[in-house]
Structure 1
Amino acid sequence: MKTMDIIHNPFKNKGTAFTEEERRKLGLIGTLPGSVQTIEQQAKRVYDQYKIRPDGMQKRKFLMEVFNTNRTLFYYVLSHHIEELLPIVYDPVIAPAIEQYSEIFMLPQEAAFLSIEHPEDIEESLKNAADGRDIRLIVVTDAEGILGIGDWGVNGVNISVGKLMIYTAAAGINPSQVLPVSLDVGTNNQELIHDPLYLGLKKARVTGKEYYDMVDKFVASARKLFPDVYIHFEDFGRDNATKILNKYRNEIPVFNDDVQGTGIVSLAGVLGALEISGQKITDQKFLTFGAGTAGMGIANLLCKELQLQGLSEEEAKKHFYLIDKQGLLFDDTEGLTPEQKPFTRSRDEFDNSEELTNLEAVIKAVHPTVMIGTSTTPGAFTEGAIREMAAHAERPIIFPISNPTRLIEAMPKDLLEWTDGKALIATGIPVEDVEYKGVSYAIGQANNALIYPGVGLGVLASKARLVNDQMISAAAHSLGGIVDTTKPGAAVLPPVSKIHEFTKTVAKAVAQSAIDQGLADPDITDAEKAIEAIKWEAKY
Structure 2
Amino acid sequence: MWWENKIMRTFRCQLKQSPGVLGHLLAELGDAGGFLGEIKTIHMGRSVVIRDIVVFADNFSHLDKLIKIVNDNPDVNLLEVRDEVLEVHQGGKIAVRSRYKIDSLSQLRRVYTPGVAEVCLRIKEDPHLAWRFTAINHLVAIVSDGSAVLGLGDIGAVASMPVMEGKACLMETLVGLSGIPILINTKDVDEIVKTVVTIAPTFSAIQLEDISAPRCFEIEERLRQQVDIPVMHDDQHGTAVVVLAALLNAAKMSGVDLKSTYFGQIGLGAAGLAVAKMLMHYFGQSVKGADINEDAQKRLARAGGIPADLEEIMQSCGVVIATTGVPGLIKPEMIQPGQIILALSNPNPEIKPDEALAAGAVFAADGRSVNNILGFPGIFRGAVDAKVSDITEEMLEAAALAIAESTPPGELVPNPLDRQVHRRVAQAVARKALELRLSRADLSGYFD
TM range (shorter): 0.5 to 0.7
Percent identity over the alignment is: 24
Larger radius of gyration: 2
| CA displacement at 1:341 relative to structure 2 | 4.1
CA RMSD after TM alignment: 3.0
* Unaligned 5+ runs, structure 1: 1-46, 73-131, 186-204, 206-210, 308-315, 327-332, 347-355, 430-444, 530-540
Closer, same or farther: CA 361–339 of 1 in aligned 2, 3 Å: closer
| Equivalent position of 2:365 in the other structure | 426
| CA displacement at 1:513 relative to structure 2 | 1.4
Counting only pairs closer than 5 Å after superposition, residues 384-399 of structure 1 correspond to structure 2 as: 384-386=333-335, 389-390=336-337, 393=338, 396-399=339-342
Q: Does 1:254 align with 2:231?
A: yes
Q: Does 1:452 align with 2:367?
A: no
Closer, same or farther: CA 381–68 of 1 in aligned 2, 3 Å: closer
| CA displacement at 1:147 relative to structure 2 | 3.9
**Distance of 1:232 and 1:415 partners within structure 2:** 35
| Equivalent position of 1:263 in the other structure | 240
Closer, same or farther: CA 518–291 of 1 in aligned 2, 3 Å: same
Which is worse superposed, 212-221 or 56-65?
56-65
1:360–1:384 CA contact under 8 A, matched in 2 = no
| CA displacement at 1:322 relative to structure 2 | 1.0
2:240–2:274 CA contact under 8 A, matched in 1 = yes
Q: Does 1:416 align with 2:357?
A: yes
Give per-residue Cα distances to partners, 1:336-387, cap 9 Å, x unaligned.
44345445548xxxxxxxxx85x345423x2x1111110011011211012x
Closer, same or farther: CA 293–334 of 1 in aligned 2, 3 Å: closer
| Equivalent position of 1:380 in the other structure | 329
Which is worse superposed, 514-523 or 230-239?
514-523
**Distance of 2:322 and 2:288 partners within structure 1:** 12
Give per-residue Cα distances to partners, 1:79-117, cap 9 Å, x unaligned.
xxxxxxxxxxxxxxxxxxxxxxxxxxxxxxxxxxxxxxx
For 1:275, the aligned partner's letter is K
| Equivalent position of 1:233 in the other structure | 208
What number of residue pairs does the alignment pair up? 336
Q: Does 1:141 align with 2:144?
A: yes
* Unaligned 5+ runs, structure 2: 1-39, 43-51, 58-81, 98-133
Counting only pairs closer than 5 Å after superposition, residues 502-521 of structure 1 correspond to structure 2 as: 502-521=421-440
Closer, same or farther: CA 426–500 of 1 in aligned 2, 3 Å: farther
| CA displacement at 1:460 relative to structure 2 | 2.1
Relative to total residues, which structure has the larger strand share, 1 or 2? 2
| Equivalent position of 1:195 in the other structure | none
| Equivalent position of 2:11 in the other structure | none
**Distance of 1:271 and 1:48 partners within structure 2:** 47
| CA displacement at 1:67 relative to structure 2 | 5.4
2:171–2:179 CA contact under 8 A, matched in 1 = no
TM-score w.r.t. structure 1 length?
0.57
For 2:180, the aligned partner's letter is L
Give per-residue Cα distances to partners, 1:107-161, cap 9 Å, x unaligned.
xxxxxxxxxxxxxxxxxxxxxxxxx965611111112222432111121222211
| Equivalent position of 1:464 in the other structure | 388
For 1:448, the aligned partner's letter is N
For 2:222, the aligned partner's letter is K
| Equivalent position of 1:291 in the other structure | 268
2:193–2:222 CA contact under 8 A, matched in 1 = no
| Equivalent position of 1:478 in the other structure | 402
**Distance of 1:508 and 1:144 partners within structure 2:** 33
2:193–2:223 CA contact under 8 A, matched in 1 = no
2:169–2:179 CA contact under 8 A, matched in 1 = no
| CA displacement at 1:491 relative to structure 2 | 2.5
| CA displacement at 1:280 relative to structure 2 | 3.8
| Equivalent position of 1:180 in the other structure | 181
For 2:165, the aligned partner's letter is V
